Structure 1
Amino acid sequence: MINKMINRVIIITFCLAGIGASYAQPHKEKSQSNTVATPADTAKKPAKVKVRPYKDVVTADAITTKGLITIHKIDDRYLFEIPYAIFNKDLLIMSRIAAASADMRIGRGGDGYAGDPIGGTIIQFEKGPANKLFIRKMSYSEYSKDSTQAMYASVKRNTMQPIVAAFPIAAYKPDSTAVVVDMTDYINSDNDLFYFGSAIQKQLLHIGNQQNDRSYVKYAHTFPTNVELRTIKTYAMAGTTMSGGFTMELNTSMVLLPEKPMKARMYDPRVGYFTTDYTDYDANPQGVKTASLINRWRLEPKPEDLEKYKRGELVEPQKPIVFYIDPTTPKKWIPYLIQGVNDWNAAFEQAGFKNAISARLAPTPEEDPSFDLEDARHSAIIYKPSTMSNASGPSIADPRTGEIIESHINWYHNVMKLIHNWYMIQCGAVDPRARKMEFDDDLMGQLIRFVSSHEVGHTLGLRHNFGASAMVPVEKLRDKAYVEANGHTPSIMDYARFNYVAQPEDHISEAGLFPRIGDYDKWAIEWGYKYYDEFKTPEEEVPFLNKLTIEKLKNKRLLFGTEIGTNDPRYQNEDLGENAMIASEYGIKNLKRILPQLIEWTKTPNEGYDNLKDMYTALNAQFDRYLVHVMKNIAGVYTTAKTSDQPGDVFERVPASRQREAMKFLDRNVFTTPIWMYNAEVLNRTGQSFMTITAERQEGVIQYLIGKYRMTRMIEAEASGDKDVYTITEFFKDLNYGIDKELYTHQPIDVYRRNLQKSYVENLISIIKPPAAMPYFGAADSPNGPPSQSDNAPLKSQSSDMSSVIKSQLHYQQKLIKADLPFVKDEMTRSHLLDLNDRITEALSVK
């Protein structure tokens, strides 16, 4: 997802110690009594029925289609003829919305569209006693593979798979190779196996009870390896003040998973892949280990090409990756979406495969009547007429191995507004094409291409790499030859949208402004997809891959920086360069160039100033991102994943000099009122308040800086005895000078600075006397999000130095105020200082 790591990758986890029931003996066709089993649980004693002859069940008027499961349609009944050959084998159930209702999206702008996944699990068919067919829901979240060991039997005994549905066998096939069951009532029911798999998901989409009289089976199609069910479902509306209901079309795919699973590859935190996780009881003989397999497509050389592959010749994989483009996509954008997919072939070539991935327009009904985008055999890019400004690339993985089975990339129509606003604000100073509200088709097409490539990267198993951009020296981002040859970040999986560091005088072209598939992406695909047939198990590969990774990571451009819960200032979204302070200063210089032009750039005939308001808001959001990038350096910790074979520390404090540099940046650009952002013409046309925007920004910066986490880190650093430490005493000295300059120089304090000083004092007070809740600072798509509760939680112990430090700062504020008051002549300044003094006195007097 390009706005938030959504990570909506659906991983169906389950346990390889599953029930290994043997096939039941074939039954000769004869009448027998049987207990009726319904999909729904019932406390009533089941009625007795008789198994009938095959010809009396599958009558001459049946419409029969053959495939993985032979389906007989008789009137409105669907009889499934399930062969013994697939009993006790894993089948993936995947359900999606095929046609949606707008009413279900109330308050849920990004969910409830055609193509959205709504459920997924693994099942097995099993012959039960008394002529019953059971469906077991499989879980492979716990693992013991060595059947010769006692642990295997113990895990198996404690991971029994639940029977989730049971059906009476209506008939046996005459050759005793299959059973026939009537699935109609189960398909028609509202069950969590075939449809919405989560009660929470139904609640979010306002889905109530199914209305049976308005729900029916549209069709059931069978193919060699899968079955596709299409149903019309009408639900009552729930959890909203609106009444009534809505109807949607749902697609359920039942796919036979490979009988010979793909050889898995163990996860390495130094290369960013999504994973399938399980508890392994064999890996550690004296404990339990959580193991992770990377999610990837099954790319293998054809048997006849294996020797060529080993010699280093490029070969085509046995089964290339194909994405179909939703035919409802606006035609002018289709070539760019296709190019965004095909761009990945350069990365796969580094892994030894040519023509490994492609995109094509989905066939029309005339070209292929059996083709369906919701068919789980097909991956697709789905166009969604949504107001959501986003795109996402979820995928479905085989939980036994991490093999990606299929993916539906979500392409929301309004993502074009998002990338338009980014590009105007980040590159409008250097690219004249960005200076209007409707970009030319070629420019928008290239922007779509980069977003397409990013989302395809997710479907290949790659996570965001927020560390890539930090591996580029800032001045290289202004070097035309360098940046046009290498790009402004080594990874398209970074959130490094465009080169905002480039200045007009650098004359950098589109090649140096846009993201592209870079060095890290090619390395990550090589690491995940290179085929090594000399290793028979994932565990055997680990030493080889570890040695390869250690050698490759000598190239800093191949670093992976996680997007999850890190305090490393190198691993941030929307940032550029190895020094956030220098990069942000360049970014601000461009914002200063853009702001005076916004009225002209956003002017639209016959319209008001909504565009101007949006773009001024976007400019402020970009400025806020720069501040977040800088602040994370203060009390930051570099975290570099390493194995014990690699030299150096995993955790290193940000150097004190870099933290001081960050504080000076904040003094220049935040504590000193950024009056350059005040533009009367813009504000008078949009009705926005510069004072409010400034106060909220300064409030947020203060909250971030004196959060519990950062102060604790500074105290710990000082206690470590290291010489290169930015102490909490020095931090507050710099902070006080930046905020209280007028108190040192005895100058009048203007309204912006008065607000800043009030905010500072109130936030100090809140630490020793915390309010019930505190707001947070940062752009909506900041990887940090709201501060953790620990940042703003009340102090739990008076033994903490933090309490002492904060009280000392409040006393110091009072000392500054009292020293300045005799010099104050401005009445508002005097009132302000007296007010602050009273607040501090009151706070310190409360026990």
Structure 2
Amino acid sequence: MKYSVWIALLWIYMWGYPQSPLIIPTDNPSMDNLGQETSFISSRIKGNQLYLKIPETLFNAPMLLTCYDDMRRGYMQVVWVKHRDEILLMRQSIRSTSGIMIPIKEGLYLEDTLLARFPIEKEGAERDAHWINATDFFLNQEIEWPNYGVDFGSPVPSLSLLLDAKNFDDEVIIKTRRGMVRRKSKLSIPIYFGLIKLGIPMKARGYDYRMGFYYESKMGSPFNLQNGVANITRWRLEKKFKNQKWSVPKKPISFLISPKVPPQWRPYIKAGIEEWLPAFEQAGFKDAIVVKEMDSLNDWEAHSIHSNVVYWNPKKYIRGSENKDFGGTIGHLIDERSGEILRGDIFMGASARTVMENYFIRAAPLDARARKLPFPDELIGELFQVIAAHEAGHVFGLIDANFGEYQYPWEKMNDEEWLRTMRHTPSVMNYTRTSNIPQPSDSISPSLLLRHVGPTDKYQIQWAYKEFPWGTTAQEEKQVLERMIRWQDSVPWYRFNNNQMEVIGPTSSNEVVETDNPIKSTELALKNLERVVSLLPGICANQKDNSQLNRLYGKTLKLYYQHMQHLSTLIGGYAIHYKALNQPGQMYEPIPWEEQIKALDFLLKWAFDPPKWLTSPDFLRKVSYSTFPDIVLQEQQKLLVEMLAAHRFKRLEYLEEVSGNGGFLHSFLTKLQKGLFYESKTLNLGNRRRDAIQKTYIDIIKILLEQEGDFMNMESQFFIASDYSKGLLWQELMDLRTLIKKNMRQYPKAVRMGHWAKCLHTLNRIL
């Protein structure tokens, strides 16, 4: 009897008062709480070992296993299973409430797989719970996370440490330093693991490709233009007062702004997130979002499933990264059974320098505050607000795509009344950026140049989060949601199209303001771009080197290219309106041929014969000693490759078929070639860039003519010109060779005879 009591006292001592781990955490140590047990999983640290108590009531109950590393979030659904004298941790295929199974891994048709085996500890055995030693799993085992892009590297056990753990009513959090190999270096990196109890799946909303939401599984390819069986990702927002038109939610979406976010930017980040409040009001929710600025945030709060944190990405301050243009990103934890977003974090990546320079090249002629660096804090804060609003949209479930672009009237871009209500782009989720269409004489308020949550964002949130009254049948809900989607028929800026590899029209381009008249808009934007170039020497005058000047000039040239690329999408392009088969009209409406030809004329003038204010500003003489690198030429060549892409030819071929008017592709190629070689009539005009562009043109066509894809592999044919296109290209080169021969005989002493002889030599080798 005495022996049994002694054993019991020893057991209480060993388990109730655990020894300290090898490394005592310096921030918020919680060793005193490690003995606190809950009805959920309990953790205890004994020596350097982590023990978990698994109640039998949790066997086969779905849980979320999570992993946090800096900006990455790994997660998977798991269950605990008792098998003889072991506890198994299993990963399961997920039974989605949409009516389909989400596999463990794409292409693997398994119901479950084993992640780890844990012998049941004999000491401390309880009737309805079992202790296991989970140290090796969390410190040393290589875990394959299903989330796209999440790879925590190969483990290095000798560099792994167990630091701390914390128990909560519905989760346990484990703090480690995990040894791993990254970039061929052995590192010890802070990693936080979590086990979270999953409740009853929320009521889901079915995925529809005509709306701009993520679907629940991130491991596979997007559905693109088909309605895969899936749920969209969204928060569990439920009205506290069900039958009220507007009600506060039972649980709002709450954000914590990390104390590492500089205090001067916190109010702007808060304002950016709160821009979405009217969108949720349109869905029937008042005060759906709560944002708190934190002066302190301990590890457990920061890594709890119940926290959504706004982080300040430190990479911008690290040598080697200081010249990179970061933007922002988010991290999601999702219950894939229903698409419920359990946690959403925002990472504010952009530096003050990045937002200032990007704003300068677009808005300096329109905003006096932007003509001197650094900008005032107020303006920098407004630029961070735009990023916060965009990333918050991702947290609420919206994807990066094109929302209502190529729909706003171009003449409204200098209409203050319109801009205050509608903004210059219908969605903050677009990559439209700051507006550079208004002219200085329009005196547009600078605040109206920035992206904000717009009418299409409110429409998207209304569709995704609208709650239906008690008694509404599933069929009635489906009908209402479909009617909401059909609003796109009469409100064109509600239309959504997904970013794809092939940019098939002006609705799908990025980085510029897409109005219903790209040519007019681009003409106005180029006027401001010329003004920006003239401002460059002044804004960089107080610098001790040329890095800022070169950087801003490079960004200006890139923006110039993006405007030219936007116009090129008109050629072989379409306006896009995703539709069900029973909706009237076409999904793809061809751009009128007259507009395509106007766009080509514009490109021949502005892209392939660019103005001297862009190519040869006076300040270049001060800072340059060579024509290398020639960024203008690089952008011209890149644009020419895109214009001569096989998939553009195929769109023009299709346009010939559906219109019943042949000759579109031939007309395009003939006009392009004549525009690129107009000086061949005298052989004396031109310059080194035109020489390079002309030779590039011939080389691209040579590649197109020689490429032969596998006719049994349809995907490979995407990049291969059809025989029809190759015949037309061959004819164009034959015509070009004839013209050059004729003019070389007529002008035997032409200054650029060598260039034309070289072109002729290449043509002879091709033909």
- 1:163 equivalenced with 2:114 (yes/no): yes
Shift of 1:826: 5.3
In structure 2, C-alpha distance between the alignment counterparts of 1:726 and 1:615, rounded to whole Å: 43
Q: After superposition, where does 1:242-391 map in structure 2 within 5 Å?
A: 245-258=186-199, 260-276=200-216, 290-302=228-240, 305-308=241-244, 312=245, 314-362=246-294, 364=296, 371-386=300-315, 387=321, 388=324, 389-391=326-328
Contact persistence 1:396–1:404 (CA under 8 A): yes
1:139 aligns with 2:93: yes
Q: Is the 8 A contact 1:272 1:465 kept in 2?
A: yes
1:813 is aligned to 736
* Contact in 2 for aligned 1:660/1:726 (Cα 8 Å): no
In 2, the alpha carbon distance for the partners of 1:69 and 1:721 equals 66
Cross-structure match for 2:530: 592
What whole-Å deviation, never above 9, does each CA across 1:329-378 have from its counterpart, x for those lacking one?
1111111111111111111100111110121123636xxx6852122221
Q: Check if 1:619 corresponds to 2:518.
A: no
TM-aligned CA distance change 1:405 to 1:536, over 3 Å: farther
User: What secondary structure sits across from 2:242 in the alignment?
Assistant: helix
1:225 to 163, 170, 183: 170
Instruction: Give the one of 79, 82, 92 matched to 2:64.
Output: 92
Q: In the aligned structure 2, how far is the partner of 1:184 from the partner of 1:219?
A: 12
Tell me which of 70, 76, 83 is aligned to 1:128: 83
Describe the shift of the 1:333–1:588 C-alpha distance in structure 2 as closer, same or farther (beyond 3 A): same
Decide whether the 8 Å contact of 2:558 with 2:635 is kept in 1: no
1:65 alignment partner in structure 2? 36
Task: Indicate which of 110, 116, 121 corresponds to 2:72.
Answer: 116
The alignment status of 1:581 with 2:519, answered yes or no, reads yes
Deviation at 1:277, TM superposition (A): 5.0
Aligned to 1:681: 618
Instruction: Give the aligned partner of residue 29 of structure 2.
Output: none
Please tell me whether residue 504 in structure 1 is matched to residue 440 in structure 2.
Answer: yes
Residues 705/319 of structure 1: CA separation in 2 closer, same or farther (3 Å cut): same
Matches of 1:642 and 1:564, distance apart in 2: 17
- In structure 1, the partner of 2:379 is 443
Gaps of 5+ in 1: 1-30, 32-51, 98-113, 148-156, 280-287, 773-787
1:839 CA drift (Å)? 1.4
Partner SS, residue 570 of structure 1:
helix
Gap change, CA 1:191 and 1:708, over 3 Å in 2:
closer
Q: Which residue of 2 aligns with 1:700?
A: 638
Q: Report deviation, 1:263.
A: 0.6
After TM superposition, give the deviation of residue 553 of structure 1 in Å.
Answer: 4.0
**Structure 1 position 758, deviation (Å):** 1.9
User: Per the alignment, in what secondary structure is the counterpart of residue 94 of structure 2?
Assistant: coil
Could you tell me which runs of 5 or more consecutive residues in structure 2 were left unpaired when the two chains were aligned.
Answer: 19-33, 102-107, 220-225, 316-320, 710-714
Please tell me whether residue 192 in structure 1 is matched to residue 143 in structure 2. Answer: yes
- Kindly provide the amino acid, as one letter, of the partner of residue 586 in structure 2: D
1:278–1:631 distance in 2 versus 1, CA, 3 Å = closer
Cα distance in structure 1, aligned partners of 2:218 and 2:535: 55
Q: How does 1:648-797 map to 2 (within 5 A)?
A: 648-687=585-624, 689=627, 692-723=630-661, 727-744=664-681, 748-769=685-706, 790=717, 792-793=719-720
Distance 1:641 1:210 in 2: 50
Letter in 2 for 1:634: I
**Alignment equivalent of 2:465, drawn from 510, 513, 529:** 529
Asked if the contact 1:637/1:652 (under 8 Å) is kept, the reply is: yes
In 2, the alpha carbon distance for the partners of 1:709 and 1:220 equals: 55
| Residue from 571, 576, 598 that aligns with 2:508 | 571
1:285 paired residue number: none
Q: Are the aligned partners of 2:684 and 2:750 in contact in 1 as well (CA < 8 Å)?
A: no
One-letter amino acid matched to 1:64? G
Counterpart in the other structure of 2:318: none
1:41 maps to none
SS at the partner of 1:88?
coil
Report if aligned partners of 1:299, 1:318 keep a CA contact under 8 Å in 2: yes
Q: Is the 8 A contact 2:427 2:452 kept in 1?
A: yes
Q: SS state of the match for residue 231, structure 1?
A: strand
- Whether contact under 8 Å (2:403, 2:494) holds in the other structure is no
Q: Secondary structure at the match of 1:496?
A: coil
Change (3 A) 1:839 1:502: same
Q: Report the secondary structure of 1:671's partner residue.
A: coil
Q: AA paired with 1:589? A: K
Residues 577-633 of structure 1 deviation map (CA, whole Å, 9 limit, x = unaligned) = 12222211111111111212201012235x111110000001100000001101111
**Structure 1 letter corresponding to 2:94:** Y
Correspondence list, 1:425-444, <5 A: 425-444=361-380
Following the alignment from structure 1 to structure 2, what is the Cα–Cα distance between the partners of residues 232 and 579? 56
Cα 1:686–1:82 change in 2 (3 A) is same
Structure 1-normalised TM-score?
A: 0.79
Structure 1 residues 611 and 171 mapped into 2: Cα distance closer, same or farther (>3 Å)?
A: same
Q: 1:399 to 1:440 in 2, by over 3 A?
A: same
1:610–1:686 contact (8 Å) kept in structure 2: no
Count of residue pairs brought into register by the alignment: 717
Tell whether the 8 Å contact from 2:64 to 2:78 is kept in structure 1 after alignment. yes
SS in 1 for 2:505: coil
Change (3 A) 1:538 1:600: farther
- Could you give the per-residue CA deviations for residues 634-659 of structure 1, whole angstroms, max 9, x where no partner exists? 11133321113321111232221121
Query: Which has the higher relative contact order, 1 or 2, with Cα contacts under 8 A spaced 6 or more apart?
Result: 1
CA distance in 2, matches of 1:320, 1:540: 27
**CA deviation map 1:478-509 (0-9, x unaligned):** 22332233210111011111111111111101
Where 1:828 maps in the other structure, the secondary structure is: coil
8 Å contact kept, 1:172–1:179: no
Shift of 1:56: 4.5
Moved more, 463-472 or 343-352: 463-472
Deviation at 1:771, TM superposition (A): 11
Is the CA contact (8 Å cut-off) linking 2:277 and 2:287 kept in structure 1? Answer: yes
> Counterpart of 1:551 in structure 2: which amino acid?
W
User: How big is the alpha-carbon RMSD for the aligned residues of Structure 1 and Structure 2?
Assistant: 3.1
CA deviations 1:678-699 (Å, max 9, x no partner) are: 3353212332738833332332
Whether 2:485 is the aligned partner of 1:485: answer: no
Question: TM-score of the superposition, structure 2-length normalised?
Answer: 0.87
Structure 1 residues 329, 86: CA separation in 2 closer, same or farther (over 3 Å shift)? same
User: Residue 387 of structure 2 aligns to which amino acid in structure 1?
Assistant: V
* Alpha carbons of structure 1 residues 615 and 333: separation in structure 2 relative to 1, 3 Å: same
The aligned residue for residue 105 of structure 1 is none
Residues 604 and 792 of structure 1, relative CA distance in 2, 3 Å threshold: farther
In structure 2, give the amino acid aligned to 1:429: P
Distance 1:509 1:362 in 2: 33
Matched position secondary structure for 2:164: strand
Match of 1:44 in 2: none
Deviation readout 1:51-87 (Å, 9 max, x if unpaired): x999848745455112322334434333322222222
Aligned pairs (5 A) from 1:33-44 = none
Per-residue deviation at 1:173? Answer: 7.9
